[in-house]
Structure 1
Amino acid sequence: MPSYDDTVITFPLAVAHDVLMRPLEEGDFSRLCRAYLRNRDHLRPWDLRRSEDFFTEQGQADRVRGQLKEREAGRLVPWVLALGNEVVGAVTLSNVSLGSFRNANLGYWIDAEWVGRGLATEAVRAACQAADGQLDLHRIEACAMITNLASQRVLAKCGFGVIGTAPKYLHIDGEWRDHVLFQKILNGRTPG
């Protein structure tokens, strides 16, 4: 997988206001712990049920180390959205597949204080640019719960098109939930 510094887009990148999008670092675990504690109720309707350990510094340290190992293996590209010393969101490309597929799944979340201020849209755009310019991917998949109209709007603004619906697609907040499936074709290049 190409490194972060050989690309069309460089990080950290100012995405909106004074928020920077940058690669996840091992030292982010305490910032992520604070962010998830602050946003626990805000994220609950859109996220899987989390154990109490998830909301501890040790839980986040273990999670960050796991994500960095997945990044080293070329399967995950995690970024954080940082405002000073605080994390106010995250964007992740997961299940990165090269070869003839050249695809990844997009996930993101935004701090409750930043909802509606354009941060999610700009972060998703930056992730798409990196997926195209850095990772040489062909397409990105994303999904949003049928009831998550705000996330659907973000994806539409960023050029994602609906490709279908998936009943009981993901286990979110204690139940299997229906989702709208999206994709964005990034380019028509022949895989290199």
Structure 2
Amino acid sequence: MQLEYSIDNYILKVLDEGHADIVLDFYKRNKESFNPYETAKPENFYSTEYIALMLNAEYNAIIKGKYVRFYLFEKDKPDYVVATFSFSNIILGYTKSCNIGYKVDIAYQNRGIATKFIPICVDLVIADKNIHRFNSYVLTTNYPSLKVMEKLNWIDEGIAHKYAYLDHDWRDHKHFVYINN
């Protein structure tokens, strides 16, 4: 898998710990927007040191074929993260499956970024790993992401009851899949 792709006016790339400052800026800018949909963060999450360790771990997992996170930038803003698209729990055995997650900067939401780049990223992962099944778990109150899954025509497999611990409670998620035929 390449570590950088040029697509229209955007750059999609894998980052290492040398980019901790710009990734930290992305998370700080979007803290209020992301927190309702994510698990609790460690106390030191919003620090350059923590983000550098996270990026190093992600990069090593990419090398081992266990994980991929792409960071999206506009070509004329190479230090401003627009979105991230991650593929975790990559299983290359008999199921050839993974989970997908994404985050879009608050200033770029409602512009079709997720709808455009999820299929592109899925195709990149298919080309590299021949993944058959992509799973997306969306909090039942995350209406923008539910709409994205609907627009992309991912298969709705129903409710994953009490799927993730968010905001001091086990929360239901809708389970969507994309099947690579």
State the TM-score, normalizing by the size of structure 2.
0.92
| Aligned counterpart for 2:147 among listed residues 124, 149, 153 | 153
> Could you say which residue in structure 2 is the equivalent of 1:13?
6
In the TM superposition, what is the alpha-carbon distance from 1:30 to its structure 2 partner?
A: 1.0
| Aligned counterpart for 1:118 among listed residues 91, 109, 112 | 112
SS in 2 for 1:117: coil
> Could you say which residue in structure 1 is the equivalent of 2:33?
42
Q: 1:112-159, CA deviations, whole angstroms, 9 ceiling, x for partnerless residues?
A: 111100111112111111122222111100110111121011122223
The CA RMSD measured in Å over matched residues stands at 1.6
Separation in structure 1 between the aligned mates of residue 91 and residue 52 of structure 2, nearest angstrom = 26
Q: Which has the higher contact order (CA 8 A, sep 6+)?
A: 1
Map 1:25-40 onto structure 2 (within 5 A): 25-40=16-31
The answer as to whether partners of 1:48 and 1:174 remain within 8 angstroms in 2 is no
Q: Does 1:184 pair with 2:178?
A: yes
Q: 1:95-125, CA deviations, whole angstroms, 9 ceiling, x for partnerless residues?
A: 1111211111001000111110011111211
Separation in structure 1 between the aligned mates of residue 14 and residue 56 of structure 2, nearest angstrom = 13
Q: 1:54-83, CA deviations, whole angstroms, 9 ceiling, x for partnerless residues?
A: 111001001111111111221101110123
Q: 1:155-182, CA deviations, whole angstroms, 9 ceiling, x for partnerless residues?
A: 2222311112012111123321110001
> Could you say which residue in structure 2 is the equivalent of 1:4?
2
Map 1:167-182 onto structure 2 (within 5 A): 167-182=161-176
Deviates more, 1:18-27 or 1:43-52: 18-27
The answer as to whether partners of 2:17 and 2:51 remain within 8 angstroms in 1 is no
Map 1:66-81 onto structure 2 (within 5 A): 66-81=57-72
Q: Stretches of 4+ moved more than 6 A in 1?
A: none
Unaligned runs of at least 5 residues, structure 2: none
In the TM superposition, what is the alpha-carbon distance from 1:19 to its structure 2 partner?
A: 3.4
> Could you say which residue in structure 2 is the equivalent of 1:190?
none
How many matched pairs?
178
Equivalent AA in structure 2 for residue 110 of structure 1: V
Separation in structure 1 between the aligned mates of residue 110 and residue 13 of structure 2, nearest angstrom = 21
